[in-house]
Amino acid sequence: MTTTGGAGQRIETAAQTLWEAPDVVHDSKQVGPTGRPLREIPVPPEPDHTASALIVAMCNQKGGVGKTTSTINLGAALAEYGRKVLLVDLDPQGALSAGLGVAHHDLDVTVHNLLVGPGKVNVDDVLMNTKVEGMDLLPSNIDLSAAEIQLVNEVGREQTLGRALAPLRNRYDYILIDCQPSLGLLTVNALACADGVIIPMECEYFSLRGLALLNDTVEKVRDRLNPELVLYGIVVTMFDARLLHSRQVMTRVVEVFGDLVYDTVISRTVRFPDASVAGEPITTWAPKSGGAEAYRAMAREVIQRSGR
């Protein structure tokens, strides 16, 4: 399922009229934070691992929206449900790697070595196990920051990541790519090889405006590089039901994107940064917390929508 060509204009209109909207009060017993009726999604059946991996680009050009947190915890929750998961750290800051307890600054081989250089390494030389059973990692560090310049003169530079990941597609059910907070060549590489995009969006006015630019980029990649690319959905993060602003932004996002907005909403909590400091997903660090349950619910939605 994709957004229509006029989505960018609808996002701009929604952002411009955000402050004109009256507050919307929902009966919490009947509807969820999105304003839609609550839908219970059952625990998924065990996978058969016969299909090649679904590649998902976790993408938002705005930083600080919970993108890396969502990548780590969605991946861990998918693994809890028996899915084989690979996380790809495509951000030179290495936040995904650090969030899984990897001393990424000391690594000799990373995603960078898979993308550039005459002596590109084998993907198995970069692959790492994580503390989560069934979830592996392709780590990154600051070395990756040079990749965009180094790839400029490469033939088929937008497909470099896709070629590197090709040998791994039959080993996993899901490959989640944590994109850097920009719309540069690395992010285009992720979109060019992805089956779909999940957009983590902070429940905040400027994040809503930024969706228009991101939507335009997705449409350009679909037109020029990857005609099969779809928008899987938007997960709203850092939601605070007590704030009028959060409720207004949520209403506008649902107005524009409808069912593409996941029912699961990630609320703001100190548990997430604490888990990141501990170097593990919230699903293992605080398994009974609201944040852990939220990402399990999101994983069930992702599995149900994808049929994997």
pLDDT band at 269 (very low <50, low <70, confident <90, very high): confident
Cβ within 8 Å of residue 174, ≥6 positions away: 53, 54, 56, 75, 78, 83, 84, 85, 86, 302, 308
Between residues 103 and 275, the one the model is more confident about: 103
Tell me whether residue 19 is in a domain.
no
- How sure is the predictor about 178, in pLDDT bands with cuts at 50, 70 and 90? very high
What pLDDT does 61 receive?
Answer: 84
Give the pLDDT band of residue 231 (cuts 50, 70, 90): very high
Asked, for residue 252, whether it belongs to a domain, the answer is no
Domain presence at residue 40: no
- Asked if residue 228 belongs to a domain, the reply is yes
Q: What is the CATH number of the domain that holds 79?
A: 3.40.50.300
Give the pLDDT of residue 27.
45
Q: Please report whether residue 64 resides in a domain.
A: yes
Distance CA 151, CA 136 (A): 26
In whole angstroms, give the CA distance from residue 53 to residue 195: 9
Residue 81 lies in a domain: yes
Q: One-letter amino acid identity for 239?
A: F
For residue 224 the two structure tokens come to: 């020029």
In a domain, 41, yes or no: no
In a domain, 27, yes or no: no
Max mean pLDDT range (70-79, 196-205, 235-244, 280-289): 70-79
Instruction: Supply the pLDDT for residue 19.
Output: 44
* Band of residue 6 on the pLDDT scale cut at 50, 70, 90: low
pLDDT in tens, 40-69: 888 999 998 889 999 999 999 888 888 999
- Domain extent, residue 230, equals 46-203+213-240+262-306
What is the domain count for the chain?
Answer: 1
> What does DSSP say about strands 135-138 and 128-129: parallel, antiparallel, or unpaired?
antiparallel
Question: Sorting pLDDT into bands at 50, 70 and 90, what band is 5?
Answer: low
Which H helix or E strand runs over 284? helix 282-285
For the chain, how big is the Rg over CA atoms in Å? 19
The pTM score is 0.89
Q: Give the max Cα distance, the chain.
A: 60
